[in-house]
C-alpha cells in the first residue's frame, strides 16, 4: 500500500528544500565499542528464505549475511579484505586462484569449517544453482584441496572478476555436512541457516520478525558486540518511518524508507545516513527498448528518446537527488572500469526532433509522430514516477506514451517471457564487475525468453559480443580496462538501453548505531563490528 502520488509530490517539494540545505551526510563509524544490547532493524521486505547461496534477492542477503560468511569481504572502497579466507593469491597467468582458509572456525552446530565445505559449496551450489555464481565460476575447471585449510581453483581461462565478488552475498559458504546428498533448493536449513558468522539464527516468525543471537564462539575475538539482532518486517512504508522515529527500530537498511521521508531524518544529533552500503550492488535505473518494435529498431529513434529526457531533472524530481545521473552501463562506483568518455545525451529537443525526422517519423499537424507503450511494475513508486516523467518528456517530441503499470509478476511475464512491451523501466544491479552484471544485458547469447533480467531488448552486436567475451578472460588489467571502455562506448552509441540514474541505497539509523569501519558491501556486512552506543 502506498500514499497517493499527489501526497508524495507535496512531500517531495519539502524534501528537495531540505536536501539543498542539509550538510554532508553523517556516517556511522565510531571507536570504543560498547558491548551488549539487541539491535532492531527494519528492511524493505520479508525475505523468502535465508540462504544467499540460492537466491540473490537483496533482502535475503541483508539478513543471511549476519549468519553466513563468504571467503572475503569488502572495505569501503570495495577492495577485498579477509573473511573466511585469510590470504589469497592469483597465479601469474591468472589461471589459478589459491585461498588459505582460517583455522579453528566452527559452524554454529559445533562442526569444524574446512576446505571441504568450500569445495562442496563451489561445485554443488555456486556453480550449479547460484544465478550469478554460474557465470562467476564458469571458468573453474577443477579444485584442489592440498590440506583442510587451503583450496586452489584451476581455471580454464582467467576470471579477473572473481575477487570482486565472493563475499557473504555473492558466494556464501554452506556446511557440507548438512547439505551433501540433499535436495539443496528445498533443504530445511535454507530457512534456519547454520553458518560461521557472528550471529546464530534463533527464530523466524513469518510476517513478524527474525531473531538472531550472538555467536559466543565467533572467530573474531571479542566480537560481535551486539547480543542479538531483531529484523522486524513492517510492510507499510510510512509505518517504517514512524518505527524509526519512535525508536522501535534502530536501523533501516537498503532504502527501506521512501526518499520522500528522508527529510524527517536530517537532524544529525539523532540520525545518521549511510549512502555507500550498496556500492557493491552498483545499481542503475534505466529504460530499456524492445528492438523488435518497428520504431525502436531504428538507432536514431532510440537516440532521439535519449536526447529528450532530462536526467538531471529526473534525478531531482523522482530520486530527490539521492544518486547520480548515469552516464553509461558501468556505474561510476565501479571506479576501476567506469569511463564517462562515451557518447552522452544531454537534453536537446531540437536534436531529438531532427533525428526522428531523419528516421522518417515526421510530426503530423498536431505535432504527433507515433505512440509507444511503456511498462513498469507497480511495486516501486520511483519506477512509476520515472515512467510518468518519461511520458511527459516524450510528449514534447511528439511520441505519445501509453503507461502500463501491472503487478510485478505480470510485468516480468510481459517483458521477459512474452516480450510484449515497447519500453520498460526498472533497475538492475551491475555488480562490482562488468562481466558479472553488465554483460548479461547486451550479450547475444543471453537473449533468453522466459528468464528475468536477461537481454530482453533483443540487441545483438557481434563486435561487442567478442569484446565482452574477451574481457571476461583477459588477465592483463590494462588491456581489460581498454576493452571495457570500448564496450561502454559501443552501447552508449547504440543505446539499446537508456541508462537513467545511479540510485544510492540508503541506510538511516539512530546515531547510537556505530561500526568500526564502513563497507562498500555494507548491506551484506556481518555486523560483527557493529554496536549500539548507550542512550545519552
Applying CB under 8 A, the residues found at the interface with another protein are 1, 38, 40, 48-49, 55-59, 129, 131-132, 134, 183, 185-186, 188, 190-191, 205-209, 211, 230, 232-236, 238-239, 242-243, 245-246, 248, 379, 406-410, 412-414, 416-417, 428-429, 440, 448, 450-453
**Shortest distance, position 476 Cβ to another protein, whole Å:** 28
Q: How far apart are CA 49 and CA 201, in angstroms?
A: 12
Nearer to another protein, 38 or 395 (CB): 38
List alpha helices for 359-412, DSSP H.
Answer: 381-395, 408-412
Nearer to another protein, 351 or 413 (CB): 413
Give the position of cell 521477459.
Answer: 416
**Shortest distance, position 530 Cβ to another protein, whole Å:** 17
Give the position of cell 541505497.
Answer: 505
Nearer to another protein, 97 or 237 (CB): 237
Nearer to another protein, 42 or 274 (CB): 42
Q: How far apart are CA 487 and CA 492, in angstroms?
A: 9
**Shortest distance, position 432 Cβ to another protein, whole Å:** 14
Nearer to another protein, 34 or 86 (CB): 34
Contacts of 182 (CB under 8 A, 6+ apart): none
**Shortest distance, position 144 Cβ to another protein, whole Å:** 26
Nearer to another protein, 58 or 85 (CB): 58
**Shortest distance, position 7 Cβ to another protein, whole Å:** 10
**Shortest distance, position 56 Cβ to another protein, whole Å:** 4
Grid cell for residue 157: 581461462
Contacts of 529 (CB under 8 A, 6+ apart): 33, 223, 224, 225, 515, 516, 517
C-alpha angle 232-277-516 in degrees, rounded to nearest 5: 90
Q: How far apart are CA 385 and CA 518, in angstroms?
A: 32
Nearer to another protein, 21 or 183 (CB): 183
Per-residue burial over 206-235, b = 16 or more CB atoms within 10 Å of its CB, e = otherwise:
eeebbbbbbbeebbeeebbbbebbbbbbbe
**Shortest distance, position 283 Cβ to another protein, whole Å:** 9
Instruction: Map 242-290 to HEC letters.
Output: HHHHCCCCCEECCCCCCHHHHHHHCCCCCEEEECCCCCCCCEEEEEEEC
**Shortest distance, position 242 Cβ to another protein, whole Å:** 5
Q: How far apart are CA 50 and CA 512, in angstroms?
A: 27
Nearer to another protein, 440 or 480 (CB): 440
Spatial contact of 432 and 160, defined as CB atoms under 8 Å apart: no
Q: How far apart are CA 491 and CA 88, in angstroms?
A: 35
**Shortest distance, position 449 Cβ to another protein, whole Å:** 9
Q: How far apart are CA 370 and CA 1, in angstroms?
A: 34
Nearer to another protein, 4 or 340 (CB): 4
**Shortest distance, position 440 Cβ to another protein, whole Å:** 7
Residue 129 burial class via C-beta count within 10 angstroms: exposed 0-12, middle 13-18, buried 19 and up: middle
Nearer to another protein, 193 or 321 (CB): 193
Spatial contact of 404 and 374, defined as CB atoms under 8 Å apart: yes
Amino acid at each position: 500500500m502506498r500514499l497517493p502520488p499527489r501526497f508524495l509530490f507535496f512531500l517531495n517539494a519539502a524534501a528537495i528544500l531540505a536536501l539543498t540545505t542539509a550538510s554532508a551526510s553523517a556516517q556511522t563509524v565510531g571507536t570504543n565499542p560498547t558491548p551488549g544490547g539487541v539491535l532492531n532493524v527494519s528492511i524493505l521486505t520479508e525475505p523468502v528464505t535465508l540462504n544467499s547461496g540460492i537466491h540473490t534477492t537483496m533482502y535475503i542477503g541483508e539478513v543471511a549475511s549476519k549468519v553466513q560468511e563468504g571467503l572475503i569481504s569488502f572495505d569501503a572502497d570495495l577492495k577485498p579484505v579477509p573473511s573466511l579466507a585469510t590470504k589469497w593469491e592469483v597465479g601469474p597467468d591468472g589461471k589459478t586462484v589459491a585461498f588459505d582458509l582460517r583455522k579453528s572456525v566452527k559452524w554454529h552446530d559445533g562442526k569444524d569449517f574446512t576446505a571441504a565445505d568450500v569445495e562442496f559449496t563451489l561445485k554443488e551450489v555456486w556453480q550449479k544453482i547460484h544465478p550469478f555464481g554460474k557465470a562467476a565460476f564458469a571458468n573453474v575447471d577443477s579444485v584442489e584441496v592440498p590440506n583442510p585449510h587451503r583450496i586452489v581453483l584451476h581455471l580454464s581461462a582467467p576470471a579477473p572478476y572473481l575477487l570482486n565478488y565472493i563475499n557473504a552475498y555473492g558466494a556464501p559458504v554452506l556446511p557440507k555436512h548438512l547439505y551433501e546428498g540433499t535436495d539443496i533448493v528445498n533443504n530445511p536449513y535454507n530457512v534456519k541457516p547454520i553458518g560461521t558468522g557472528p550471529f546464530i539464527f534463533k527464530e523466524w516468525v513469518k510476517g513478524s520478525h527474525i531473531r538472531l543471537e550472538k555467536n559466543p564462539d565467533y572467530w573474531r575475538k571479542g566480537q560481535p558486540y551486539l547480543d542479538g539482532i531483531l529484523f522486524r518486517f513492517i510492510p507499510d512504508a510510512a509505518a517504517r518511518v514512524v518505527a524509526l522515529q519512535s525508536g522501535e527500530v534502530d536501523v533501516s537498511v537498503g532504502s527501506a524508507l521512501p526518499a520522500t521521508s528522508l527529510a524527517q531524518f536530517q537532524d544529525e544529533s539523532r540520525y545518521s545516513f549511510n549512502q555507500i552500503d550498496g556500492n557493491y550492488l552498483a545499481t542503475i535505473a534505466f529504460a530499456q527498448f524492445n528492438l523488435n518494435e518497428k520504431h525502436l529498431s531504428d538507432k536514431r529513434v532510440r537516440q532521439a528518446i535519449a536526447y529528450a529526457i532530462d536526467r538531471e531533472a529526473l534525478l531531482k524530481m523522482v530520486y530527490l537527488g539521492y544518486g547520480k545521473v548515469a552516464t553509461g552501463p558501468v556505474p561510476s562506483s565501479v571506479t576501476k572500469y567506469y569511463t564517462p568518455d562515451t557518447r552522452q545525451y544531454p537534453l536537446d529537443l531540437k536534436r531529438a526532433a531532427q533525428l526522428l525526422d531523419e528516421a522518417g517519423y515526421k510530426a503530423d499537424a498536431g505535432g504527433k509522430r507515433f505512440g509507444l507503450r511503456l511498462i513498469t511494475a507497480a511495486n516501486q513508486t520511483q519506477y512509476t514516477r520515472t515512467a510518468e516523467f518519461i511520458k511527459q518528456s516524450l510528449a514534447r517530441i511528439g511520441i505519445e506514451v501509453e503507461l502500463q503499470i501491472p503487478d510485478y509478476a505480470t510485468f516480468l511475464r510481459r517483458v521477459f517471457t512474452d516480450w510484449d512491451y515497447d519500453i520498460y523501466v526498472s533497475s538492475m544491479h551491475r555488480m562490482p564487475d562488468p562481466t558479472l552484471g553488465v554483460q548479461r544485458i547486451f550479450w547475444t547469447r543471453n537473449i533468453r525468453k522466459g528468464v528475468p533480467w536477461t537481454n530482453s531488448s533483443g540487441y545483438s552486436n557481434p563486435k561487442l559480443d567478442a569484446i565482452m567475451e574477451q574481457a571476461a578472460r583477459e588477465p592483463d588489467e590494462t588491456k581489460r580496462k581498454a576493452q571495457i571502455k570500448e564496450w561502454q562506448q559501443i552501447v552508449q552509441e547504440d543505446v539499446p538501453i537508456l541508462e537513467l540514474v545511479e540510485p544510492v541505497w540508503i541506510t538511516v539509523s539512530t546515531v547510537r548505531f556505530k561500526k568500526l569501519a564502513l563497507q562498500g558491501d555494507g548491506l551484506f556486512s556481518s555486523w560483527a563490528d557493529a554496536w549500539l552506543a548507550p542512550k545519552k
